[in-house]
Structure 1
Amino acid sequence: MSQYAFPPLRATDPAAFGRVAVLLGGTSSEAEVSRDSGRNVLEALRARGVDATAVDGISALAQALVQRRFDRVFNILHGHKGGGEDGIVQGLMEAFGMPYTGSDVLGSALSMDKVRTKQVWLSLGLPTPRYVRLLSGEDVHQAAATLGLPVIVKPANEGSSVGVTRVFSDADLEAAVELAARYDGELLMEQLIEGDELTVAILGDVALPSIRIVPKGQWYDYHAKYVAEDTQYLCPGLQGQDEAEIGRIALAAFQAAGCKGWGRVDVMRDRASGNFYLLEVNTAPGMTSHSLVPKSAQQAGIGFEELCWRILEQTL
């Protein structure tokens, strides 16, 4: 018997879903990862008899909505600016009364903005690394001095470790800011927590087993996420009381950001103190062969096809 209390399936007949659009690709910096995720979801739904069709990007979806070609949408677009995690596509689907998977307009928009997500968490006493918003023309050396090196510099609105640099010396600050500034939106400088990288998948109101990520290199960057075959994923990532605590914090963080349905919360555990620090929420996490939500669900006794079914069920 699994320790994770999942409700019984709400539908057993794939016809209950009608025609399903699997929304993938788009024009964000994470489009290719999204296409990979989408192909896997499409295959899993079809394997269970669901009438599912791939739709690439928001323009194609808008056309399909006008033509009333679908009954619901499985959103696996990643990122913003043509991705599906910033609330824009959710607003489009709301306007057409179209049921869709994942978080709504508020949860999607808020969690895409790392600065404002942190402000919400801090207001509720949830732990997150100290940070500085880097506005245009701001003195980055002064900001780093305020936080104390080492720091992380990243775009406030990107995912998949895009544009992120770990900075250990003052001399490397300018290059880090230059890289992050290639992406739209504000920049964020954050205290670098050195320790274990963990992530907790959320399915409905359940925090799934944590995963501890052990990259071969110094840290879990884009290459370690999507290319490397030697990154280790230990699941569950923690034991006993620590595992219960990270699940509690992750679920609280997810709900505080207005998120629902499913997602993933990234957490650091400080090596020196053992304290947890919330990094960000992903409202449409990857579903590729390297992705973490399927690994965590598997550990809790839910295979990939059932995971996709359960996510889609939340639209009924």
Structure 2
Amino acid sequence: MSNSMKKIDPRALGKVAVLMGGRSSEREVSLMSGQGVLDALRAQGVDAHAFDPAEQELGALKAQGFARCFIALHGRFGEDGTVQGALELLGIPYTGSGVMASSMAMDKIMTKRIWRFEGLPTPDWRMVASPEATTAALAALGAPMIVKPARDGSSMGLTKVTDASQCAAAYALAAKYDDEVLCEQFIAGEETTCAVLGEGAAAAALPVIRIVAPDGNYDYQNKYFTDVTQYHCPSGLPADEEARIQQIVEKAFRTLGCRGWGRADVMIRQSDRQPFLLEINTSPGMTSHSLVPMAARARGMSYEQLCLTILASASLDSTSSEERAA
């Protein structure tokens, strides 16, 4: 954490593109995140400019002389390794995880396979390709069950299924967003999220946030456009429970090879207080409702400091970890 709080000279960061908007289903939220980041960076003297990949070709970044990019894109074509790969080819350092880590983290099924292999706790699941397979998954996993796209975020296309009669509609909704659909065992208990800043051994978790949504429904609307969801930071969890979640999230972050920053969602099973990793976001939201800024504030870091710290960590896959840490 000490590296993330060191003095940063905004002028030394050069001309910066804040990538926002894009073509994913999360475009609206990305525009809000990007505007917040843009304003924060400019307020600190960074030569920052908005750049929407849906409106300009990425090659224009090179032509316009950008020295680094802050990726405030969410979902497909922004958080899945595609933009990261393009920036690698252009040789422009960018914030967040590299090509492979971004791609794996975006794919919830691949993420769960890796976590399970590494002995990290994650709910049981099935990948399905039809309504009939969704019904079979419900029989195997039990009710309730979560049905969601394998490669989308912000709870888009998600359904909590309690009865077999709901399976066909739940599958159809998820399949609108992705041809790979994930059926996941529902964990009844408390919902939390935990952010990480840094890379490798220096990656450190921020304070855990406990989320209390109306009727447990932490959906797209309640995430970004209402004020009825409660966020507790400090979490109010026992200290040993919070420490365990932070330890699991740091390992989950490192296991996927993530860097820079990220945020993992964790359910605590009510029956035995066992934490379960749901997914990890490598380009989390930075809106007024977003959770990484909230956790950073609890650690004594302002929104502006957080944005500057993340920007200063921008790098390329081809850059060694020692160079990135310098």
Deviations 1:4-63 (A, max 9, x none): x43264553211101000000011000010000000000000010000000012662513
- Conservation of the 8 A alpha-carbon contact between 2:269 and 2:275: yes
Shift in CA distance, 239/7, structure 1 to aligned 2, threshold 3 Å: farther
The alignment partner of 2:216 has SS state of coil
Deviations 1:120-159 (A, max 9, x none): 0000100000000102465322111111111000000010
Deviation at 1:301, TM superposition (A): 0.5
> 1:21 — aligned with what?
17
Deviation at 1:88, TM superposition (A): 0.4
CA distance in 2, matches of 1:182, 1:140: 15
Deviations 1:223-270 (A, max 9, x none): 110111121000122231111100000111111112110010000000
Q: How does 1:198-209 map to 2 (within 5 A)?
A: 198-204=192-198, 205-209=203-207
1:60 aligns with one of 53, 56, 59: 56
Would you say how many aligned residue pairs link Structure 1 and Structure 2?
Answer: 310
Identity across the alignment (%): 50
CA distance in 1, matches of 2:275, 2:5: 33
Q: How does 1:1-316 map to 2 (within 5 A)?
A: 5-7=1-3, 9-57=5-53, 60=56, 62-80=58-76, 82=77, 84-136=78-130, 138-204=132-198, 205-237=203-235, 238-315=237-314
- Conservation of the 8 A alpha-carbon contact between 1:268 and 1:279: yes
Q: Which range moves more in the overlay, 161-170 or 138-147?
A: 138-147
The alignment partner of 1:139 has SS state of helix
CA distance in 1, matches of 2:177, 2:101: 22
The alignment partner of 1:252 has SS state of helix
- Conservation of the 8 A alpha-carbon contact between 2:21 and 2:54: no
The gaps in structure 1 that reach 5 residues or longer are none
CA distance in 2, matches of 1:90, 1:180: 26
One-letter amino acid of the counterpart of residue 217, structure 2? W
- Conservation of the 8 A alpha-carbon contact between 2:131 and 2:168: no
CA distance in 2, matches of 1:109, 1:58: 20
One-letter amino acid of the counterpart of residue 111, structure 2? T
TM-score by length of 1: 0.95
- Conservation of the 8 A alpha-carbon contact between 2:4 and 2:197: no
- Conservation of the 8 A alpha-carbon contact between 1:28 and 1:78: yes
The Cα RMSD (Å) is 1.4
- Conservation of the 8 A alpha-carbon contact between 1:264 and 1:293: yes
The alignment partner of 1:190 has SS state of strand
TM-score by length of 2: 0.92
